[in-house]
Amino acid sequence: MCRAQVGWTGPGRLEICSFSGHKIYPAKGKTYVRVDSRVSTFRFINGKAASYFLQRLNPRKIRWTVIYRRLNKKGMTEEVQKKRSRRTGSQAKVSKQQAKGFAPKAAATSR
């Protein structure tokens, strides 16, 4: 294919599978174009993803898709998960003093 032709994606440009969310490397995968051309094209990593798409299966319920794995928190490392923050001693003392200072004011305003 000549570089001047329409549809050339260039060297090293990665596509994303319309069904599974996986990366599609150049010269790999399948392209599906609807007859009415409402949506320009769908790109799939393999025939399995294309078949599930045409069967109108929900990728959120298929375990090997990226969408399923993100929704169900599969394969996340500890670095990605939220870290718990611990209060230092000085912050804890300050918050206790503030709580004591606010208690009489709250009691006075409720009367």
Classify domain 8-76 at the CATH topology level: Ribosomal Protein L24e; Chain: T; (2.30.170)
Question: What tokens were used for 64?
Answer: 């090997």
pLDDT of residue 85: 72
3 pLDDT above the threshold of 80: no
DSSP state of 29: S
> For all residues of the chain together, what is the average pLDDT?
79
- Given a cut of 50, is residue 1 above it in pLDDT? no
Query: What residue spans define the domains of the chain?
Result: 8-76
Q: What is the pLDDT of residues 17-46, one digit of tens each?
A: 999 999 999 999 999 998 887 777 899 999
Q: What is the pLDDT of residue 6?
A: 46
Q: According to the 3-state scheme, what is the secondary structure of 88-100?
A: CHHHHHHHHHHHH
pTM exceeding the 0.75 threshold for the entire prediction: no
Name which residue leads in pLDDT, 38 or 73.
73
Rounded percentage of the chain residues whose pLDDT exceeds 70: 62
Q: What is the pLDDT of residue 12?
A: 74
CA proximity to 25, closest of 5, 7, 40, 45: 45
- What pLDDT, on a 0 to 100 scale, did the predictor assign at position 5? 43
Q: How many CB atoms lie within 10 A of CB 11?
A: 7
